[in-house]
Chain A
Amino acid sequence: MAKQFPYIGNSEIEQEAILEYLGIKSAEDLFVDIPKEYRDSNLSEIPSSISEMQLVEHLTLLSEKNINPNPSKSFIGAGAYHHYIPSTVLSLAQRGEYLTSYTPYQAEVSQGTLQVTYELQSLITELYGMDVANAGMYEGGSSLAEAALMACRVKNIYKVACLSTIAPRYKEVLRSYLAPQSIEIVFMDTNDVDMKKDEYACLIVQYPNFYGSIEDMRALSDTAHKSNSLFVVSADPLAAVMYKAPGDYGADIVVGEGQGLGIPISFGGPYIGLFACKSEYLRQMPGRIVGKTVDKRGDSAFVLTLQTREQHIRRERATSNICTSEALMGLMMTIYVATLGKSGLQQVASSCFHNAHYAAEQISQIDGFELINSQPFFNEFVIACPISPKIINKKLIEVGIIGGLDISDQIDNGILFCFTEIHSKESIDSLVDNLKHVN
C-alpha cells in the first residue's frame, strides 16, 4: 500500500472510487492540459515525509539553535516589544472557530470575527483619539507607507515631508512604496521643518520618535496644517495610553504597530498595522472596514462595509491592493486590551515609563555613559557609551543579557535601550551592574 498522509482526506479506497466514477485509470488523465514535456515532479531539495513525533523533535532542536530567550533580561525594542501576554490571549485566539475561519465575507456565519473587528476598530480610535479606524494592515512600517500614499491621494500632491527621527526601517519601507509612484520624500530635522504652502501632501512624525523622545507635537501639527498638509503620525499605541493621543494634536492620519498589545514578538511577525484617520478622509482609507447594521429581523449585526474602496471591486483604482487585515492579530490585541482593561493598560504604560526612567538615571550615573535624550521620553532612550556598543553587547550576552540596539551608525557609540513592565528592579539593576564592569 502506498504511503498515507494524514492531511489528505481520501483513503486509497476512496481515491479508487473517485477514479472509477470519473471513468479514468489514473489521476494522470486529469493533468493532460499540462504539456507533457513540462510534467515535472522532481522535488529533490525536499526531504522525505516525517512523522509528527519526528517533526516535534526536529523543530524543537531548530528552536534550540536560537538563543534561549528570557525577555526579562532583554533590553531591545526599536519597534518590536517584549510584554507579558495574559493567558486569555493565546488560549482564546487559538480557538479553531477564529483561527481557521476565512475573511468574513459571509456575514451570517462570521459574526464572531466581525464583532471582534468592530471592537478592535473602536479600541484603536480610542487609543489614538481618532474618528475612524480600519480592521488592520500588515504591520507598522507598511501601514505608515499606506498612510503617505493616502495623504497624496487626499491632497493630490505627490511629495511628502518626513522627520528624520522616524525609525530607519520605516524610512526604507516608505521609500520602497513611494518611489515607484515617483513620490518624493524629503527628510527634515525636527528643528528645521520648512514646508511651503501646498508643497507637501503631509508631514510624517513618529510618536515617540525612534530615539524614544516625544516630539513637539503641537508645533509640528500647526506647521503641517499651516502649509495645507496632512499631519500623519506613526504612534506607539501604548505610549498613547499615558501621553496625549495623537488625535489631541489634530492628527489627520494615525498609524502604528499593534504588536506590543498582546502579540508575540515572534522574530518580527506576524504583527498588525494600525490605521486610523479623521472621518472626512474615510473613503480614501485603505483596508478592510467593519460596520454595524441590522439583519432582516431588525437585529443589530456586523458586516464588511465601504468595500467599493477595495481591490476586489475597484481593481486598479482601489485605495490599496491589500486584502488582509491580520485579523488573528487584531483578535489577540482585542483580547489583550479587554483582559487588562482600563486600569491594567494604564498600569502597564506607567510601569514602562517608570522602569525606563529609573534605568536611564542609573545608567547615566555610570562613568562615561551619557543619556542623549533631552526631550521627555516614554520607555526608550539612547545612551552614548564610552566604548563600542558591539563590545558591550557581546559582554552582556556572556552573562545572558541582550543589550539594547546598537545604533552607532547614527549616534556615536549609541545604544537604544527599551524597558517594559516585564523588567523588575532586579533585572534592571543587574543590567546596570554589568554595564559598570564592561569598561
Chain B
Amino acid sequence: MSQNEIRYSKEHEWVKSTEQGLFLVGVTEFAQEQMGDVVYVEMDDVGTSCNQFTKVGEIESVKAVSDLYTPIGGEIVEVNEELINNPELVNNDPLNGGWMLKIKVSDIQEINNLMTEEEYKNYIQQL
C-alpha cells in the first residue's frame, strides 16, 4: 500500500499510511453524515494495543453514541487532541483534520481485509 492510499472498513472507518509503519485512522464522510453533529470524541489512551476491528473509542453526537472500531490492529501512538476542543472537525474535515488515532501497525497484511476507495464507494451505494 502506497503512501496516502486509503482503505475502508465496513464500519465506515478509514486508514491511511503516513510515516514508516504509522497509520492514521478516522471515520468516513458517510459516517459523519449519519451521525450528525459530533459533540464529543473519546479514544483509548496512547500506548493501548488493539486488534483489528475492536473498539477503540466512542463518538458522541447530540442524541447518539457510536463505537469507533479500529480498521487495523497495533499500538495507539497518538490521539488527535484537537478533537477535544473541536469535535466539529469530524464533521467538517473527516478525512484530514478529523483524524482520530495514529497507530503503529503490527501486521500490515490486515490491510487486505479492508476495501479500496472504489470498493467502499460501491459498498455504501448498496446500503
Q: Mark A residues whose CB is within 8 Å of B.
A: 283, 307-308, 313-314, 317
Chain A residue nearest in CB terms to B39? A308
Asked if residues B63 and A313 are in contact (CB atoms below 8 Å), the reply is yes
Q: Which of A307, A314, A317 contacts B62 (CB 8 A)?
A: A307
Contacts of B64 in A (CB 8 A): 308, 313
Contacts of A314 in B (CB 8 A): 65
Contacts across chains A and B counted by CB atoms under 8 Å: 17
Asked if residues B40 and A283 are in contact (CB atoms below 8 Å), the reply is yes
Q: Does B60 contact A (CB under 8 A)?
A: yes
Does more than half of chain B's interface fall in helix, strand or loop, or is it mixed?
strand
Complex: A308 Cα to B65 Cα, angstroms: 6
List 15 extra interface pairs beyond A313-B63, A313-B65, CB under 8 A.
Answer: A283-B40, A283-B42, A307-B62, A307-B63, A308-B39, A308-B40, A308-B60, A308-B61, A308-B62, A308-B63, A308-B64, A308-B65, A313-B64, A314-B65, A317-B65
The number of chain B residues with a CB under 8 A from chain A is 9
Within 8 A of A (CB), among B34-74: 39-40, 42, 60-65
Complex: A314 Cα to B64 Cα, angstroms: 8
Q: Mark B residues whose CB is within 8 Å of A.
A: 39-40, 42, 60-65
5 closest Cβ contacts across the A-B interface?
Answer: A308-B60, A308-B65, A314-B65, A313-B63, A307-B63
Complex: A308 Cα to B35 Cα, angstroms: 13
Chain A residue nearest in CB terms to B59? A308
Contacts of A308 in B (CB 8 A): 39-40, 60-65
Contacts of B65 in A (CB 8 A): 308, 313-314, 317
What's the minimum C-beta distance from A311 to chain B, rounded to whole angstroms? 12
What's the minimum C-beta distance from A155 to chain B, rounded to whole angstroms? 15
What's the minimum C-beta distance from A320 to chain B, rounded to whole angstroms? 15
Chain A residue nearest in CB terms to B60? A308
Contacts of B42 in A (CB 8 A): 283
What's the minimum C-beta distance from A46 to chain B, rounded to whole angstroms? 42
Complex: A283 Cα to B60 Cα, angstroms: 11
Chain B residue nearest in CB terms to A312? B63
What's the minimum C-beta distance from B25 to chain A, rounded to whole angstroms? 22
Chain B residue nearest in CB terms to A318? B65
Interface centre among B39, B40, B60, B64 (most CB of A within 10 A): B60
**Interchain Cβ contacts under 8 Å between A and B, 5 examples:** A283-B40, A307-B63, A313-B63, A313-B65, A314-B65
Complex: A307 Cα to B64 Cα, angstroms: 9
Complex: A324 Cα to B60 Cα, angstroms: 22
Complex: A68 Cα to B61 Cα, angstroms: 55
Complex: A313 Cα to B64 Cα, angstroms: 6
Contacts of A307 in B (CB 8 A): 62-63
